[in-house]
Structures are given as structure tokens and as C-alpha cells.
Structure 1
């Protein structure tokens, strides 16, 4: 069974947990997969630095706040993906929805929708996105890239579980996107490694 078939089977009848809390803002993101040259890959963006953005400079999935005119969270995820990276998901294969997650540091609920694109498509980055990366699955599943790592949020120094997606100059994936990628792999029955205490994923192993 190939990777995409397994995802489809796992998500097809999965009943995602949908959170509703009127005291929290709502956002939606897209987890986009493609068949890379050697293995499946997942799209991540790096948010452009901005003083008003609490996730400024962080790795993330394309997405953003749900607007009142959006028909629903899935439509918001598709709109935001189109606006941020120029990727039209209306023709992509929709695989399913993950559990909603509540922000640990901000009052927000994030919904995540999973897609597969069948062919390579060019990306057109908006001013909100500094860069975009297709990260191989093996990078995410390699225990050497998982660790508790020092991060900064809202002027505070924290230590959080993280994944090194690139090299030591690019920081780490942490926070709600880290939780979402873990939720994805748990849902498809391939849980990611647990962070190893004492190993900094920014090192060049």
C-alpha cells in the first residue's frame, strides 16, 4: 500500500473533533502533499517577519483567519492557500480533515484540511510569506531531527518540542503546526518520534 492510499483510507471515514468556542478566534490551514522526485513531500511556508504577527518568521502551513464571508473553514483554508502561495486547491484531491486544535498561547482554534496535488505546480508567494519548502516525509520521521528546543514567543524564551525542517540557520518547526503534523501522522497510524531531551534539532547531525 503506498503512502497516499494509506492516507486516503485512514482519513476517509475519520470523524474529526470539531471545536466550537465563541471566545476564541478561528483559523484554517491546508496540509498539502505531493509525490516528490524520490518520496512524498509536504508543503510548509515560512511566515514573513512582521511585528503584528505573533507567528512572525515561523514555519507553518498555508492558511489564516476565517473571514465572515467564507462558507466554512475548508473554504477559508483554500482561499488563504491561494492568496499566500498561489496554489488553487479546488482541483486538488481532498483527503480529509484533522482534529481541530486550540492554541496553547493564543485564544484561537485551528482547523486543518489535507490535500494531495497530482502534478507539480508553481508557487507564487504573497508578501505574508517569506519562503516555501517541500519537505520530504523522511525528514519528518527521522528521530535525529526531533528534540526539545529553545524558542521565543511574545518576547518570552520557551523550551518546546520541535522538528528541524532545514539546516541550523532556519530555526525549527514548533507550536500549533508541530501539533498538527503530529496529529496527521497519528491519524494515518504512523506516529512521529518523541523529542529527545538534550538534543537540539538545530545542530548539524
Structure 2
């Protein structure tokens, strides 16, 4: 089973990302480069850390709105949690969204660029000794790569 229930409570060692699916494409962002940010400049899904007072679905919804100015309306479910290689204690839940209002408008403090990417645009490569995708000059590796592979394996993307 690929999709799980969507009511994860969250906590200090949790985060959520939003996987927005539209017509065979997924929304990816390129994060701005900032000192002290372990994911600076990476290709990712919109998302971030849990905050007290919200559940993880609320975290994903808030982060999507903050990073790309989209208000989500329909959630299909969530994938099981993943952990980044550079923060194995952190659990990241990807929420799958199939409805929203608006088009991506990157918040320049957090997101340099946002793109809709189709599965057919992803080229498998090896990058830094690891499996990765390349698309339009972007390298997708690590956690984002693993989430995309899970979406493909589950037939969701």
C-alpha cells in the first residue's frame, strides 16, 4: 500500500512536503542559497518543519502557501515518512495534493524557481556516486529523488 491516512500529529523531529500532481507533472522548487541551510540550493518539494499547534497536513499546507503561494484544496493521502541522509532523525511525510487554487509564485526569500516537471522529463543519472535525476539542468537527488522514485513505483507519477 502506497498512500496512508493523512492525520499525522507531528512533533519536533517531523516535517512535511507537498507533492502537487497535475496532468502527469509534479511541482518542484529550487531553494535559494543561504548560509547555514543544509538544503541550500537543492531541488525539492515545497515543505518544511512542523510547528507547535499544527498537524503535519497543516505543516504541508502552510509551507506550500508560504513557498509558492498556492492554496491546496484536495489531498489524496500521504506516503510513509522518509528521512534525509544528512538528518536521519528527521521524519518527512510527503502529502499528495490533486487540487489547489493558483499557480506557483515563488517566495524569493525561500524559493529561487518553481517548475512543473513531467516523468518523461526525468533522466536517470549518477551524481556524486548516488542515483539521481536530471531535468532541464536541475539535479534531483537524495530525499527528493527517493520520494519521486516512490511515486513512480506506486504508479502515482
TM-score, normalised to structure 2, is 0.86
Q: 1:147 — aligned with what?
A: 125
Change (3 A) 1:83 1:189: closer
2:4, 2:77 within 8 Å by CA — same for their partners in 1?
no
**Whole-angstrom CA distance in 2 between matches of 1:174 and 1:27:** 18
Deviation of 1:124 (Å): 2.2
Q: Is the CA contact 2:133–2:145 (under 8 Å) kept in the aligned structure 1?
A: yes
Report the equivalent of 2:93. Answer: 111
Unaligned runs of 5+ in 2: none
Question: Aligned pair count?
Answer: 154
- Rg larger for: 1
Task: Mark the runs of 5 or more structure 1 residues left unpaired by the alignment.
Answer: 1-9, 151-158, 191-205
Give a deviation string over 1:40-80, Cα, whole Å, max 9, x none. 2110000000011101001000000000121x111100110
Pairing 1:35-184 to 2, within 5 Å after superposition = 35=23, 40-70=24-54, 72-89=55-72, 91=73, 93-106=74-87, 107-117=89-99, 121-126=102-107, 127-140=109-122, 145-150=123-128, 159-167=129-137, 170=138, 172-184=139-151
Match status 1:34 vs 2:22 = yes
Q: What are the superposed Cα offsets for residues 70-111 of structure 1, whole Å, 9 maximum, x if unpaired?
A: 1x111100110001000001x2x2111111112222131100
Is the alpha carbon distance of 1:20 and 1:74 closer, same or farther for their aligned partners in structure 2, counting shifts above 3 Å?
Answer: closer
Relative CO higher for 1 or 2, CA cutoff 8 Å, sep ≥ 6? 2
Structure 1 segments of 4+ aligned residues over 4 angstroms from their partners: 18-22
Which structure has more helix as a fraction of its residues? Answer: 1
Q: Return the TM-score normalized by structure 1.
A: 0.67
User: Residues of 2 paired with 1:173 and 1:42: CA distance?
Assistant: 13
Inter-partner Cα distance in structure 1 for 2:10 and 2:53 = 19
